[in-house]
């Protein structure tokens, strides 16, 4: 066993912390600060073009990321998040140090390098050492392995989808192991055992692993790689970043044995309450010797895992389209084509920072909860934690699907974050009733309408006041037929309210509407010619202001931009980046946790997000270097190579 003295970090190994919490670390001479987005016209015109080709159209992309530009900047340094104790120098059995990349690497050489090998050449991960060393209680005992060496080995295992025995086999390999050992800081003659890898993983708290991801994010922001302000075309530079939300179901490493598993299954036998029996199933009496420590049907290595049936739809539980109880429900459940799937495990949520310059995303991890926790219940706590970790990061826009369109989230985004609510509206039964829309003053998309059924025009959003204005422009003078036409009917329709007669179903605050039976048709003889806003001296006509709520107090459909407009479609289309994060986690085979337990499963997800951020840079270096090595044709190098 050989030991090496690992000193404290030097000033040139990490980024200097900002002077105040309201500032981000900054590398002034970084070439990535000059990257700019395409115009809105170009962005819309190239939506069907692959991201690899779109990046070549970005000015300065090739010049900023090609290897000849990158190499003098190396290593890319990281920052240490606030509150991390400093590293205490000590002897260790391994010692990670950043090694300079080869000076003569060509595009062909880069193509032959593994992505993880390229990451180790681009970044100096030394600032992670004090973070991962927080598991050391003292200096007593034999010299340990460098915690950073083991931490990077865990990331390598996630990248390669290796088990611990495969990882160690590769490190012992005469063909590949020498290179890994050299870059990770191992002595090839003194490698850890599987138990050492497991011990290091279980001893590292998921909060510390999160600090490693934040350390990488701080460094990427300092170099101008990860945006610290909006990159959407024509947005001002002081506008905050765009965040896209989405959750990912993560299957537990253990196979489910009972879908009713809960915390009581792992308590003392007299205190256990069998949820299966309470639901009329056979369950378990926990009176056998196999149930002494825990219920024999429980997964002891994944005790926090829970079961959920994911319907695969954002349709609210009070939807009128649900089958009538006792009739179509059984047929739909028995149908092999029915949507939905069974899931046992956990759920991870990510806050993806969108980058319209490079057509990618940079994931910032959020809550990692049990599978039965609703997505939207993790959103506000996740934002609060994100603002605590990055107090200087302004958020200017939140993108999400309809699953996040609840009143408390919409209020929080508008009132607390002061951000655009680019969140798909949730449907309600009343949205399909023209009479209900006319009575409340807005259509199914939240677009205001006048009392005669003419839809108002969006007149812009005031970012200082946080409100949007809609005007009619005297539409009734130029259009004879209203946008909302109420069909004539002699009898009132049956109530479409899903909660009618169901006191157990609660309505969203600000979303309740009178039942159709209590609504009345417009007075007979009422025409737009009687409108008081047709005065030619006031061409804007009727004006409606939408802020936190619509004029009647409704929050569910209140948005800051016109839903369905070209600008809205261009912005909401970027929500697919959040789904790309989930797809990348699946490609890393993190759709099912490689390790047992909620905490270890969270660590795997965190390492996956860290890999995605680092892999973005490696991918851009490959693309730019390859593009720069291609000969320009017909003098079009500036266009084809992004300047």
Q: Structure pTM? A: 0.88
The answer to whether residue 337 scores a pLDDT higher than 50 is no
pLDDT at 10 over 60: yes
pLDDT band (50, 70, 90) for residue 137: confident
pLDDT score recorded for residue 489: 53
451 in any annotated domain = yes
Task: Return the pLDDT at 186.
Answer: 96
Range of the domain at 73: 22-225+599-640
Domain shared by 34 and 128, yes or no:
yes
Which position has the higher pLDDT, 517 or 360?
360
Read off the pLDDT of residues 543-563 as tens digits, 9 standing for 90 and up: 999 999 999 999 999 999 999
> CA 617, CA 415: separation in Å to the nearest integer?
35
Question: Does residue 378 form part of some domain?
Answer: yes
Q: Which helix (H) or strand (E) holds 354?
A: strand 341-355
Give pLDDT, residue 524. Answer: 45
Tokens matching residue 59: 């000015």
pLDDT at 261: 95
Residues 86 and 149 in one domain: yes
Q: What are phi and psi of 100, to 5 degrees?
A: -60, 150
Q: Which of 42, 396, 67, 360 is nearest to 225 (CA)?
A: 360
The answer to whether residue 391 is domain-embedded is yes
- 398 has a pLDDT exceeding 50: yes
Q: How many helices (H) and strands (E) does the chain have?
A: 21, 11
CATH number of the CATH domain containing 386: 3.30.420
Together in a domain, 106 and 202: yes
How confident is residue 140, by pLDDT bands cut at 50, 70 and 90? confident
The answer to whether residues 431 and 370 belong to one domain is no
Q: Give pLDDT, residue 251.
A: 97
How many domains, the chain?
A: 3
> 141 and 111, same structural domain?
yes
Mark whether 446 and 345 lie in a shared domain: no
Question: Which residues have CB under 8 Å from 186's CB, separation 6+?
Answer: 94, 149, 171, 180
271 found inside a domain:
no
Average pLDDT (104-118) is 85
Residue 274 within a domain: no
Indicate whether 507 pLDDT > 80. no
Task: Please tell me whether residues 389 and 246 are part of one structural domain.
Answer: yes
Residue 262 lies in a domain: no
pLDDT confidence of 596, banded at 50, 70, 90? very high
Q: Which of 276, 83, 119, 28 is nearest to 611 (CA)?
A: 119
- Give CA–CA dist 564/576, Å, rounded: 17
Q: Are residues 437 and 476 in the same domain?
A: yes
């Amino acid at each position: 066993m050989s030991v090496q003295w690992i000193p404290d970090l030097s000033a040139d190994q990490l980024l200097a912390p900002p002077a105040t919490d309201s500032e981000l670390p900054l590398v002034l001479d970084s070439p990535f600060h000059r990257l700019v987005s395409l115009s809105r016209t170009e962005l819309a015109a190239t939506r069907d073009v692959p991201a690899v080709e779109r990046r070549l159209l970005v000015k300065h992309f090739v010049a900023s990321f090609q290897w000849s530009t990158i190499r003098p900047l190396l290593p890319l340094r990281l920052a240490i998040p606030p509150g991390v104790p400093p590293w205490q120098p000590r002897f260790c059995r391994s010692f990670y140090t950043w090694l300079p990349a080869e000076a003569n690497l060509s595009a062909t050489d880069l193509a032959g390098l593994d992505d993880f090998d390229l990451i180790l050449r681009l970044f100096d991960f030394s600032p992670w050492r004090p973070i991962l060393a927080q598991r050391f209680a003292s200096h007593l005992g034999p010299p340990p392995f460098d915690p950073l060496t083991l931490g990077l080995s865990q990331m390598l295992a996630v990248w390669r989808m290796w088990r611990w025995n495969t990882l160690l086999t590769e490190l012992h390999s005469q063909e590949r192991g020498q290179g890994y050992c050299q870059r990770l800081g191992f002595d090839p003659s003194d490698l850890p055992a599987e138990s050492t890898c497991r011990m290091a993983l279980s001893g590292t708290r998921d909060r510390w692993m999160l600090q490693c991801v934040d350390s990488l994010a701080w460094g990427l922001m300092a170099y101008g790689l990860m945006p610290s302000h909006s990159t959407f075309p024509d947005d001002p530079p002081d506008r905050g970043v765009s965040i896209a939300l989405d959750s990912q179901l993560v299957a537990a490493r253990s196979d489910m044995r009972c879908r009713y598993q809960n915390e009581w299954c792992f308590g003392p036998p007299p205190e256990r309450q069998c949820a299966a029996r309470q639901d009329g199933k056979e369950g378990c009496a926990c009176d056998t010797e196999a149930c002494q420590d825990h219920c024999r049907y429980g997964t002891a290595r994944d005790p926090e895992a829970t079961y959920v049936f994911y319907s695969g739809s954002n349709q609210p539980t009070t939807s009128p389209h649900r089958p009538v109880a006792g009739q179509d429900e059984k047929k739909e459940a028995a149908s092999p084509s029915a949507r939905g799937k069974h899931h046992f495990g956990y759920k991870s949520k990510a806050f993806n920072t969108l980058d319209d310059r490079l057509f990618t995303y940079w994931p910032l991890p959020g809550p990692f909860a049990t599978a039965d926790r609703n997505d939207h219940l993790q959103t506000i706590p996740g934002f609060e934690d994100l603002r605590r970790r990055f107090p200087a990061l302004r958020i200017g826009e939140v993108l999400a699907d309809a699953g996040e369109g609840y009143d408390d989230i919409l209020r929080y985004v508008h009132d607390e974050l002061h951000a655009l609510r680019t969140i798909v509206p949730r449907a309600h039964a009343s949205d399909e009733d023209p009479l209900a829309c006319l009575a409340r003053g807005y259509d199914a998309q939240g677009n205001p309408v006048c009392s005669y059924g003419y839809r108002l025009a969006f007149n812009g959003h005031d970012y200082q006041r946080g409100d949007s204005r809609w005007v009619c422009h005297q539409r009734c003078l130029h259009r004879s037929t209203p946008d909302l036409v109420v069909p004539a009917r002699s009898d009132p329709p049956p109530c479409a309210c899903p909660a009618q007669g169901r006191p157990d179903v609660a309505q969203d605050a600000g979303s309740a509407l009178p039942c159709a039976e209590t609504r009345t048709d417009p007075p007979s003889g009422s025409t737009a010619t009687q409108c008081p806003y047709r005065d030619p001296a006031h061409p804007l006509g009727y004006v409606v202001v939408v802020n936190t709520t619509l004029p009647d107090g409704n929050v569910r459909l209140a948005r800051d931009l016109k839903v369905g407009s070209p600008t809205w479609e261009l912005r909401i289309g970027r929500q697919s980046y959040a789904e790309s994060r989930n797809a990348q986690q699946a490609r890393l085979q993190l759709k099912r946790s490689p390790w047992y337990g909620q905490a270890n499963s969270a660590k795997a997800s965190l390492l996956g997000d860290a890999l995605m951020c680092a892999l973005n840079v490696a991918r851009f270096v490959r693309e730019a270097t390859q593009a720069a090595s291609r000969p320009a044709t017909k003098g079009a190098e500036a266009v084809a190579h992004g300047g």
